[in-house]
């Protein structure tokens, strides 16, 4: 019969080709808390999405499983939850009227419909001056309209 100490080594070598989540290659005893590498922890964005309930079900389940094993990420989720509650309990956030005015002037574009060649031939999108006029309000004068202007001119 094989030595019990060598069985674990043979097992780890036999399954070494599997990803780590399927075959543990650590020497820690079964049931011991798992040690995570820094690249295996939840990102800041994933923690915020988890707290806000914005993850899809599969991602939520993976994150919840990770949180059940990782005290560091669980503490970060608790911190994020407290920050979220503090923001919700704070005074109402007010938007400056100048910003609200600028946002209300953004041209509304109808959804992309049939191409120009089909029924009617009307142009989809804002008139040529609308996109350029809004861009003039930004400090660099561009306003991020390079892509939009080239699409409108086609």
First to last CA, the chain: 78
Binding residues: 66, 70, 73
State residue 40's pLDDT score.
Answer: 82
Looking at residue 31, its pLDDT comes to 64
Tell me the C-alpha distance between 105 and 57, whole Å: 38
Q: Please, which residues have CB within 8 angstroms of residue 141's CB and are 6 or more apart in sequence?
A: 135
Q: Average pLDDT for consecutive 10-residue bins of the chain (154 residues)?
A: 51 54 57 60 92 92 92 95 91 87 84 57 49 47 46 45
Q: In whole angstroms, what is the distance from residue 121 CA to residue 59 CA?
A: 44
Predicted pLDDT of residue 28: 61
The predicted structure's pLDDT at residue 91: 82
Residue 148: the pLDDT is 46
Q: Is the whole-model pTM more than 0.85?
A: no
Looking at residue 80, its pLDDT comes to: 96
* Binding site as annotated, residues for Zn(2+): 66, 70, 73
- Nearest CA to 138 out of 146, 119, 43, 108 is that of 146
pLDDT of residue 144: 47
């Amino acid at each position: 019969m094989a030595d019990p100490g060598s069985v674990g080594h043979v097992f780890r070598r036999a399954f070494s080709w599997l990803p780590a989540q399927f075959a543990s290659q650590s020497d820690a005893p079964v049931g011991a808390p798992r040690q995570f590498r820094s690249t295996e922890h939840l990102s800041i964005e994933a923690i915020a999405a988890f707290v806000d309930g914005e993850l899809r079900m599969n991602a939520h389940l993976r994150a919840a499983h990770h949180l059940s094993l990782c005290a560091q990420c669980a503490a970060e989720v608790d911190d994020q939850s407290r920050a979220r509650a503090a923001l919700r309990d704070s005074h109402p956030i007010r938007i400056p009227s100048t910003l609200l005015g600028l946002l209300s002037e953004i041209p509304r574009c109808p959804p992309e419909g049939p191409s120009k060649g089909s029924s009617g031939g009307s142009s989809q999108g804002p008139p040529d001056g609308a996109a350029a006029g809004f861009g003039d309000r930004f400090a660099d004068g561009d306003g991020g309209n390079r892509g939009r202007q080239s699409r409108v001119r086609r």
